[in-house]
Amino acid sequence: MRRSIGRNLSFCAVAATMVAVGAAAPPSAAPGDSGGSHDGPRKVPVAVGYGGAVSSVDADASAAGIEVLRNGGNAVDAAVATAAALGVTEPYSSGVGGGGYFVYYDAESRKVHTIDGRETAPLTAGSDLFLENGKPLAFADAVTSGLGVGTPGTPATWQSALDAWGSERLATVLRPAEKLARDGFTVDETFRSQTAANEARFRNFPDTVKLFLPGGQLPAVGSTLNNPDLARTYQELARKGVGAVYRGDIGADIVRTVNKPPVDPASGYNARPGRLSAKDLRAYTAKYQAPSKASYRGLGVYSMAPSSSGGTTVGEALNILERTDLSKASDVRYLHRYIEASRIAFADRGRWVGDPAFEDVPTKQLLSQRFADARECLIKDDAVLTSPVAPGDPRRPGRCGEAGDKAAPTTYEGENTTHLTTADKWGNVVSYTLTIEQTGGSGITVPGRGFLLNNELTDFSFAPADPEVHDPNLPGPGKRPRSSISPTIVLDKAGKPVVAVGSPGGATIITTVLQTLTGFLDRGLPLVDAIAAPRASQRNAAQTELEPGLYDSPLRAELEAVGHSFKPNPEIGAATGVQRLPNGKWLAAAEPVRRGGGSAMVVTPGK
């Protein structure tokens, strides 16, 4: 983000300006065109054409998906190929050691399906998992430890998606990523800066230093980073299948690493051991489940149901906004209403959403228009709600403002994740968000395997925020921690896709997806402009976070006059999306600027 952007510009003009500034090449640039200092695909934020589309944060990863589509694979095959490549080039956000949520639209049946591939707590975990001497462990100590590592779900998600809806074998779709890991990728400024931000904790682990600090130094921008260990891991998965993780040698190495983190003795760091076992790996399943669904402006908005809170929270906020004509609202009124709807939806999320295998989550009621109407009446155009807002009770929607319980603050979630979207020539669509939680996950590399382990269990509440209020997100045996991941597909009245979007960003994922959808569906922004627009994120906190494009604009003062309080956030999310166009065309869109810009590609570029 650049602070010059947004001064004296309207909200929509800010978005358009960001696209112009961030565009790296013409929208028609073909995948595989070289640019910059190395031979390889270059990043463009928007591409239009035929035969299918892929959008991710990385050009090499998007190219891997396009290669699969060109060879006859479908959107699911391309999604797995892109995800595997992101495990090479975005290893601090995704990989074999993490998890995620997969949303799939089947063009033949016109139905949406999802896979919950969230990591799980060990079967021996209790609600005291992060208590030490009766007190919650310091967050930093939990993050860089074996204790925060959950059973990985990504390999099971890949195989489950391919089994149900793919047309290629796992070995086939892993081939581009295996080659990329072996031959290496070019280090950019984003990768170097992420490495630098993690350097201190990475140096506690010799295997992480060997992989990501070659020669003991930060990788230079423009240098090539190889990962031969990950190439061999992908080869093993290709030969043996994901059973190598859940019942085989890769899994044994994961368990050994979690339970005895390989710390450099000279560092003096206390990497607390985890409790993962071979039994935990054998017991893991990626869950096929029904999507969440909200109706908005006559469209069907499909996303992830719990264990993620993404679908219910985005859906509730959209339902709250249903009564407001956002297309005609001023920029100030639009942002005010969007912020307040987010504030209320996060209040309800914190009270009601957890792993439905352990908690009675009222998913249907949270997404009911009746409940949203009982919450929408709290919003006033000339005043701001005071956070934390108390939750409502979706099971018994009462009078306006009637609380369902005491208010509780929103818990922290790691903000580095990655999202990809794919579509194919048959009309199938995938929206897939995958993660290892914190930037760099736990910081612990599995020796000889080339991937970092997640620290996803730190998404649990370490202890109840209020002992008198039930917390649905405490740890438990085999429990999935609550997530904010919100991969979303929007269908029209005929059941055909309109748009698919998603984003990384921890709890800001929800607000990023919500703002992108309203920008595109209500404000009339082109998809790439809706993605580029400067963001605001309110999560039932005293202050709303603003990116520089809004923080430095006149809109901030106008919103403060209503009663809003703000703090700056340099960058929120890194969204990608695809849009169905007439006559078999697809538009792929990605970030022009955030996280170094994303990569949108189509199989056959066209006007």
Residue 467 is predicted with a pLDDT of 82
377 confidence band (pLDDT: 50, 70, 90): very high
Q: Is 417 a catalytic residue?
A: yes
Tell me how far apart the alpha carbons of residues 481 and 359 are, in angstroms, rounded to a whole number: 11
Within a 10 A sphere around the Cβ of 582, how many other Cβ atoms?
A: 5
Q: Does residue 80 have a pLDDT over 80? A: yes
Contacts of 194 (CB under 8 A, 6+ apart): 92, 416, 439, 440
Distance of alpha carbon 234 from alpha carbon 242, whole angstroms: 10
pTM: 0.93
Per-residue pLDDT, 538 = 97
For residue 119, pLDDT over 90 is answered with yes
Residue 153 φ then ψ, to 5°: -115, -10
Q: Is 288 helix (H, G, I), strand (E, B) or coil?
A: strand
| ∠ Cα 21 490 88 (to 5°) | 55
CA distance 459 to 513: 20
pLDDT value at position 402? 65
- pLDDT, tens digit (0-9, with 9 covering 90-100), for 2-57: 222 232 334 444 444 333 333 333 333 333 333 333 456 889 999 999 999 999 99
Rg, Å, the chain Cα set: 22
Q: Give yes or no for a cis peptide into 388 (omega within 30° of 0).
A: yes
Task: Point out the catalytic residue in the list 114, 208, 411, 417.
Answer: 417
Task: Tell me the CATH class for 11-32+47-288+412-605.
Answer: alpha beta
pLDDT 10s digits, 130-186: 999 999 999 999 999 999 999 999 999 999 999 999 999 999 999 999 999 999 999
Neighbour-count burial of 243, counting CB atoms closer than 10 A to its CB (0-12 exposed, 13-18 middle, 19+ buried): middle
Averaged confidence pLDDT in the chain: 92
- Using CA atoms, how far residue 109 sits from 427, 496, 594, in Å, is 11, 10, 36
Per-residue model confidence (pLDDT) at position 465? 78
DSSP string covering 35-71: BTTBSSPPP-SEEEEEEEEEEES-HHHHHHHHHHHHT
What percentage of the chain has pLDDT greater than the value 70?
A: 91
Rounded to the nearest 10°, the torsion over CA 526, 530, 532, 534 is 140
Residue 271, pLDDT > 80, answer yes
**What pLDDT, on a 0 to 100 scale, did the predictor assign at position 601?**
98
pLDDT at 67: 98
Residue 319 has pLDDT above 90, yes or no: yes
Output the CA torsion sign for 536, 461, 575, 299: negative
User: What tens digit of pLDDT does each residue of 382-405 get?
Assistant: 999 999 999 999 998 877 766 666
Q: What is the pLDDT of residues 446-494, one digit of tens each?
A: 999 999 999 999 999 999 878 888 899 999 999 999 999 999 999 999 9
The vertex-327 CA angle with 325 and 328, nearest 5°, equals: 75
Q: What's the confidence (pLDDT) of residue 226?
A: 97
Cα gap 510→152, rounded to integer Å: 23
| Cα dist from 550 to 5, 13, 111, 519, whole Å | 9, 12, 38, 15
- How far lies 25's CA from each of 17, 34, 419, 577, 605, in Å? 15, 11, 22, 18, 13
61 close to 420: Cβ distance less than 8 angstroms? yes
- Give 401-450 pLDDT, tens digit per residue: 666 667 765 666 655 689 999 999 999 999 999 999 989 999 999 999 99
Task: Map out the domains of the chain as residue ranges.
Answer: 11-32+47-288+412-605
Q: Confirm if 427 and 107 have CB atoms less than 8 A apart.
A: yes
Q: Residue 61 and residue 179: Cα distance in Å, rounded?
A: 12
- Give the number of other Cβ atoms within 10 Å of residue 486's Cβ: 32
